[in-house]
């Protein structure tokens, strides 16, 4: 007997009604304790892998896999990723392994993905898995730091991982050592990246805080905590901290003595390039409507412009990154004076950004 169009339509209608009934009555078990059927698991993972590979076409930056990028990614991985994915220093816990789907042990799986694949996953997250998108979607520089660390992580043992995540080469015993000195968990987490003295690492992975005024540091922390200044790393670090704690953190780092620049952090540039940087810093580029940096930044005589960050002695790569973020208009955020920097940096060419950043990095911080 031939099946007519009418029979097909009726059959589809009945199937749809049955499906709706199953859905409405709650007959599908969504309990994580039951896990997925093998077919469901295969379908979801295959769809995810194909989707990532179809969209992953972003090339790594020139400094990909640098020491600074790996260190920056490791520090955030410890607090932002290791609780679910484990680390060379600590395996995944029982609660995490009871999730459906179970967050993968990246030590075993990261080599199955290209750098471009990992960049897409970290930036955009994965639906139905609990894997979030990067909190600051415009900060590709931070995402690449995470990817650089992920590709490096399988080569680490527990001690090597601890050194990258806690800066243990400068702070023996990591967080416990810091807690014994500061007795402040929030400060201990700051110190993991910026150091007890606020100088960060010589490789420039994190900005120096010892050169800044207390008022500026407090404003910056408030901007991160309030989501006005965009950073997946710092927005996470300041989340949940109250105003009193932010004030304590700002005061602590502002009280540190501003040391000289790290000699190893400065890459030599030709004299002509440095002279160009000095001109931009001290005089600006009037023909391009770029005001002098010194008009706002650093100390003049006995006066300190606390609403603006000090730049002398700051890491070159950090200054470069901030200028490039400002030039994109929407990727950095910031306080009430951010628009000034957006206008100025937008007119700077890459060579100018590199020159002025290098010149400031070589200057001795103001006392």
Could you tell me the CATH number of the domain that includes residue 188?
Answer: 1.10.760.10
Question: Tell me, what's the pLDDT at 98?
Answer: 92
User: Are 188 and 173 in contact, with CB atoms under 8 Å apart?
Assistant: no
Question: Tell me, what's the pLDDT at 5?
Answer: 78
Question: Could you give the 3-state DSSP secondary structure of residue 359?
Answer: helix
Looking at the structure, do residues 65 and 157 belong to the same domain, yes or no?
yes
The percentage of residues in the chain with a pLDDT greater than 70, rounded to a whole number, is: 90
The answer on pLDDT for 4 being more than 90 is: no
The model's confidence at residue 188, banded by pLDDT at 50, 70 and 90, is confident
Structural domain contains residue 234: yes
Structural domain contains residue 228: yes
Question: Tell me, what's the pLDDT at 335?
Answer: 79
| Predicted TM-score (pTM) of this structure | 0.88
Looking at the structure, do residues 148 and 60 belong to the same domain, yes or no?
yes
Looking at the structure, do residues 234 and 276 belong to the same domain, yes or no?
no
Looking at the structure, do residues 185 and 249 belong to the same domain, yes or no?
yes
Looking at the structure, do residues 176 and 134 belong to the same domain, yes or no?
no
Looking at the structure, do residues 331 and 249 belong to the same domain, yes or no?
no
Looking at the structure, do residues 220 and 315 belong to the same domain, yes or no?
no
Per-residue pLDDT tens digits for 16-32: 898 888 878 888 888 88
Structural domain contains residue 260: no
Question: Tell me, what's the pLDDT at 267?
Answer: 54
Instruction: Out of 164, 188, 220, pick the residue that ends a domain.
Output: 164
User: Are 348 and 323 in contact, with CB atoms under 8 Å apart?
Assistant: yes
For all residues of the chain together, what is the average pLDDT?
A: 87
Per-residue pLDDT tens digits for 274-296: 999 999 999 999 988 888 999 88
Burial 334-345 (b: 16+ CB within 10 A, else e): beeebeebbebb
Instruction: Out of 224, 254, 284, pick the residue that ends a domain.
Output: 254
| Three-point CA angle 304, 317, 258, nearest 5° | 35
Structural domain contains residue 142: yes
Average pLDDT over residues 201-210: 92
Per-residue pLDDT tens digits for 59-97: 999 889 999 999 999 999 999 999 999 999 899 999 999
The percentage of residues in the chain with a pLDDT greater than 90, rounded to a whole number, is: 57
Total number of domains in the chain: 3
- What is the C-alpha separation between 318 and 193, in angstroms, rounded? 14
Looking at the structure, do residues 276 and 175 belong to the same domain, yes or no?
no
CB contact set of 25 (below 8 Å; sequence gap of 6+) = none
Name the DSSP class of 99: S
Looking at the structure, do residues 156 and 214 belong to the same domain, yes or no?
no
Average pLDDT over residues 49-62: 93
- Within a 10 A sphere around the Cβ of 34, how many other Cβ atoms? 9
Instruction: Out of 129, 164, 199, pick the residue that ends a domain.
Output: 164
Q: Which two tokens stand for residue 149?
A: 């660390």
Domain that holds residue 225: 167-254
């Amino acid at each position: 007997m031939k099946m007519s169009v009418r029979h097909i339509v009726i059959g589809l209608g009945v199937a749809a009604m049955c499906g709706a009934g199953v859905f409405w009555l709650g007959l599908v078990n969504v309990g994580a304790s039951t896990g997925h059927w093998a077919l469901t698991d295969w379908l979801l993972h295959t769809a995810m892998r194909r989707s990532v590979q179809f969209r992953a076409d972003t090339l790594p930056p020139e400094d990909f896999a640098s020491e600074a990028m790996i260190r920056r990614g490791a520090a955030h991985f410890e607090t932002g990723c290791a609780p679910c994915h484990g680390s060379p220093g600590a395996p995944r816990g029982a609660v995490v392994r009871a999730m459906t789907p179970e967050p993968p042990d990246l030590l075993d799986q990261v080599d199955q993905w290209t750098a471009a694949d990992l960049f897409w996953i970290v930036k955009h997250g994965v639906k139905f898995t609990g894997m979030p998108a990067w909190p600051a979607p415009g900060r590709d520089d931070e995402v690449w730091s995470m990817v650089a660390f992920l590709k490096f992580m399988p080569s680490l043992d527990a001690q090597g991982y601890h050194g990258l995540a806690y800066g243990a080469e400068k702070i023996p015993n990591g967080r416990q050592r810091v807690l014994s000195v500061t007795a402040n968990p929030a400060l201990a987490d700051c110190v993991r990246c910026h150091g007890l003295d606020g100088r960060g690492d010589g490789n420039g992975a994190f900005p120096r805080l010892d050169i800044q005024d207390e008022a500026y540091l407090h404003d910056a922390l408030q901007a991160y905590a309030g989501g006005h200044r965009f950073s997946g790393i710092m927005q996470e670090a300041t989340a949940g901290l109250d105003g009193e704690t932010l004030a304590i953190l700002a005061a602590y780092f502002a009280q540190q003595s501003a040391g000289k620049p790290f000699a190893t952090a400065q890459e030599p540039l030709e004299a002509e390039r440095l002279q160009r940087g000095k001109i931009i810093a001290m005089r600006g580029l009037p023909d391009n409507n770029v005001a002098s940096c010194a008009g706002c930044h650093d100390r003049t005589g006995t006066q300190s412009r606390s609403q603006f960050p000090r730049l002398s002695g700051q890491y070159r790569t950090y200054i470069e990154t901030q200028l490039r973020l400002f030039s994109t208009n929407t990727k950095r955020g910031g306080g009430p004076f951010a628009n000034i920097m957006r206008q100025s940096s937008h007119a700077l060419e890459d060579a100018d950004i590199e020159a002025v950043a290098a010149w400031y990095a070589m200057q001795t911080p103001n006392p």
